[in-house]
Chain A
Amino acid sequence: MRIIVPIKQVPETNAVRMDESTGTMIREGVEAIVNPLDLYSIELAIRLREEHGGEVIGVSMGPPKAATALREAISMGLDSGVLVSDKAFAGSDTWATSYVLAAAIRKIGNFDLIICGERATDGDTGQVGPGIAAFLDLPVVSYVSKFDSLSSDACRVHRLVENGYELVEMELPGVLTVVKEVADPRLPTLRGKQKARRTDIPSWSAKDLDVNAGDLGLAGSPTRVVKIFRPSVARKCIKHVVVDEGTLHKAVDELVDFLQNKQVI
């Protein structure tokens, strides 16, 4: 079983602070981490290898420092990692990102499964997993919540949808995107960390891949960001502080009135 896990390095979103005057993100001092939703795909891939043998290879597109994310994944149990990094990739939207990752995966070659996190917590699109499947012309199952079984040429999984779970079977090779329910990620081990330090992470640039220069980065991206602004999420909160039985009843009475006025009950 050869499994490829695409991994993204993202800013620690909970630590993101906004510059209120400019409406921009303060990036200084914000830690770069493995996309939290990729931990579940990493975990599932490691478990499948533990059960069925084979190897798990991480692949990440990003600046040179994204190698750190691959090392972290190796410290959890991945066998190796490939960084895909080139200034030409800068400004890629999900189309151009999927294009490059698909090319890198094609070069790694000879795989049974590609397992992706549902989405990254920074871009938050969830488009790259299906995007890779589209470029590689592979079947895809998204929102996988449980890995049921594996046979020589197919796998059975649960897929989380709005009103329940679909039980689906996918021919291999194929792409899965997984949700958090699929597995509980393990922590890196000391041995894993030592291995991660020793592991050489090759870095592939555009010239190492079978790609068209015109399809890379910003130039190859069909979408353009027109503007970025700070959402005004603050609302005028009617706030009641309860100190005793009287204020409790008053607060609840007014809440019921409020909900009726808003016609939500």
Chain B
Amino acid sequence: MQHEGVWILAEQIDGRVQRISHELLIRGKDLARKRGTTLTALIFGNGVDTGDLQELIDRGADRVVAMESPALEHFLPEPYTACMLKIIDEYRPEIIIAGATSTGRTLMPLVAIKAHTGLTADCTVLDIEEETGNLLQTRPAIGGNIMATIKTPKGRPQMATVRPHSTKPAPKETGRTGDVTRLQAPQNLLASRVRRVDFIPDVDEHGLSDAQRVVVVGRGIKKGDNVELARKLADKLKAAIGATRDVVDRGWLSYPHQIGLSGKTITPQLYIGLGASGSIQHLAGMQTSEVIVAVNTDPEAQIFKVADFGIVASLFDVVPVLIEKLPVEGK
């Protein structure tokens, strides 16, 4: 039987569909149109919000398949993998894309190995090769120094993960209809040797990976106490706080704040770098941000090469004035 259809893996937390799902719909719609096929959103969970499932249709899916069980409430590698393999076996999608999230980046390799097919991580561009209809997957490698376009000529489904925030969420359209199928996950697929015991929400981090605006602290902040100044700016902007490796290595901010090759990759609408020089290691994690602002005393700093707006000055001069001049209400 032939493989057909573009699928995205939607994600939920506490039964509510997450933003990454809507971003994937934009990608999926484009691919489905170019391939002349339909777009299906797949989601695993337990009692996923009905309105949220319909919203996946409103935002571009032609069909939603929700596979549910108490065992699927949170991501667990083995049941999720078994259920996704079952879905692949039954529906035979041609393409599956997922978010490059902690879930997507764990589940997709497990599935790709077992399905004996290709997977490309952390793509920034997806397209269809005209001659062959194959999925073209473009991703940064070697610390963002090169871009590689990759395809899976024979293996099916073709699988890719996509960087969160690398597109806007698909907009809602009125009057869209589509089939929402809720499936009970088969009991024999739900065994797990990993058990989720507890969850400790991050009080400090403000969801850096999901933030629309990020204020990043570099070594120019000089000491840990000064991070407070950056926090004030972040509060005013309703932004998350990020850090370069230098700052984390010195213990001025904790590792979950680290942005770059050995930390998080972020794609916010607004990045403001304070005293960050823009090492390759750091650029790899932020250069796809939509608008980049840099404040640095060194006019030759690398960060200015990737910035849209730069101020050559001490951050200690700029930040207080900026806090004062920013309009009070963040959007």
Contacts and interface: CB of A to CB of B under 8 A. Distances in A.
**A, B bound:** yes
Interface of A: 11, 13-14, 16, 18, 23, 25, 36-37, 93-95, 98, 121-131, 133-135, 139-143, 145, 156, 158-171, 174, 179-181, 221-231, 233-242, 248-249, 251-253, 255-256, 258-260, 262-265
B213 A264 contact: yes
B291 interface: yes
B178 interface: no
Interface of B: 13, 74, 77-78, 81, 101-103, 105-106, 108-110, 112-114, 116-122, 129, 136, 140-155, 192-202, 205, 207, 209-210, 213, 237, 254-256, 258, 261-263, 269-270, 279-281, 283-284, 287, 290-294, 299, 304-313, 317-318, 321-322, 325-327, 330-331
Given A140-B77, A164-B205, 10 more contacts: A16-B142, A18-B146, A143-B106, A163-B202, A165-B199, A166-B198, A180-B263, A238-B310, A240-B311, A256-B327
Nearest to A230: B146
Given A124-B121, A162-B102, A168-B196, A258 B309 contact: yes
Contacts of B192: 139
Given A226-B150, A229-B146, A169 B311 contact: no
Nearest to A161: B102
A25 B280 CA distance: 14
A177 to B, nearest CB: 8
Nearest to A138: B193
Contacts of B294: 237
A233 B122 contact: no
A213 to B, nearest CB: 16
A39 to B, nearest CB: 10
Contact of B141 (A36, A95, A122, A134): A122
B321 A249 contact: yes
A93 B152 CA distance: 11
Give the one of B109, B193, B262 with max A CB within 10 A. B109
A223 B119 contact: yes
A126 B287 CA distance: 20
Give the one of A93, A158, A222, A227 with max B CB within 10 A. A222
Nearest to B261: A121
Given A95-B118, A171-B193, A233-B144, A130 B109 contact: yes
Contact of A238 (B199, B270, B309, B317): B309
B110 A163 contact: no
B109 A127 contact: yes
Give the one of A134, A224, A264 with max B CB within 10 A. A264
Contact of A16 (B151, B280, B311, B322): B280
A180 B322 CA distance: 34
A171 B118 CA distance: 29
